[in-house]
Amino acid sequence: MAGQISLVSLYPSHLTAKQPCSQVSRTKYTPPPPNKPRSKAKSQVILVTGGGSGIGLSLVKTLVTSGSQVFAVDISPAPSATELQVPNYKFLQCDLTKPGAPAAVVSACVEAYGEAIHGLCNVAGVMDDVSSVDTVSEAMWARNIGVNLTAPVFLMQAVIPHMLKAGGGSIANVASKAGTSGAIAGIAYTAAKHGLVGATKNVAWRFVNDNIRCNAICPGGVATNITQSVDLAKMDAGGMARARPVQDLHALPGAATDYKQLASNVPGPERQSNVLVFLMSDLSAEVSGAIIPVDHAWSTI
C-alpha cells in the first residue's frame, strides 16, 4: 500500500537475510580500557547544606577526612567537632530561605576555594506536622516548600555554572520515602519531597551531556534532630492516625511505639551519608537520575 514503510527495510540486509547465524559477519567487541575510580571524593570542592548536624554533619566529617575541600552551610551555629578544625573545611551560618541566600552561599564557596565546584549535597531539611490538605497552615506549607524544595533548586541553579567550569560535577539531593509515597507524612513535606525527586530527574536529563550528574537518596527513619523542626506536641492527630500504620511497617525490632521516641530506635545518619559519599565519588560515574531508597526495604511497601 502506498505510503507504508516496510519494517524489514529499516534493518541491514545481513540481519534480514535467511541464513544461519554462523554466516552473519560479526564485529569483534573490544572492551574499553578499565577506569581507575577513586574510592573517595578526594581533592574536590563540595558544598554541603545542613552541615551542622545529622546526615549533613556525618557527611562533612567523612569528606573532610578524605581530603575534599568542604564548604558547609547550616541555619545553626558551626559544630565544634575537633576533626573539623582543619584548613579544608569552611562553615557559613545561613538561612537558605532568605531571598538571594542560595546565590550568596555559592559566592561564599567560590571566594573560599575558587571558581570550580565539583559537588553539591542538598541535605538541609525540615519536617511538617503531618497535617493534611484540610488542616495544613500556610506557614507550614511555605516553610516546607522553602527549605525542602526552593532552596535546593536555586542552589543547583547557582552551582551549575561553576560545575561547568570544573568540567562536570555531582549533585546529590536528600529527598525522603515521602518523596515517593503519599502515606507517611503531611501534605507539605510530601509535596516538597516529591518536587525534589522531580527536580532531580529534570536536572539529570538536562545536563546529561555536560558531565553533571544529579541523584537523590530517599531515607527512611533516621536518628537525627529533624524532629526538633516541629512541635511534636502539636502534631496533627488525624494525619498521624493515617500515617502511623505505614510507619510501623518500617519499625525495627524493639522500636518505640511513641512517635516522640522513634528517632532513638532507627539507624544513625552514617547509613545515609555513606551513600552520599559514594555519589560524590568517581565510583558512581554512571549513576545519574537515580532515586535511591536507603530505608531498610521500606520502599518495597
Active-site amino acid positions:
189, 193
DSSP string, 212-279: EEEEEEEE-S--SSGGGGS-GGG--HHHHHHHHHHHHHTPPTT--SSGGGGGGGS--THHHHHHHHHH
The distance in angstroms from the start CA to the end CA of the chain is 51
> In this structure, is the dihedral angle defined by the CA atoms of residues 112, 117, 118 and 123, taken in order, positive or negative?
positive
Q: Are 63 and 41 in contact (CB under 8 A)?
A: yes
For the record, the C-alpha cell of 270 comes out as 552514617
Residue 289 DSSP symbol: S
Tell which residue, 195, 198, 256, has the closest CA to residue 227: 256
Are 27 and 10 contacting, i.e. CB atoms less than 8 angstroms apart? no
Q: How far is CA 216 from the centre of its chain?
A: 3
Q: How far apart are CA 91 and CA 269, in angstroms?
A: 20
Q: How far apart are CA 197 and CA 174, in angstroms?
A: 9
The grid cell for 230 is: 516541629
What single-letter amino acid sits at 297?
A
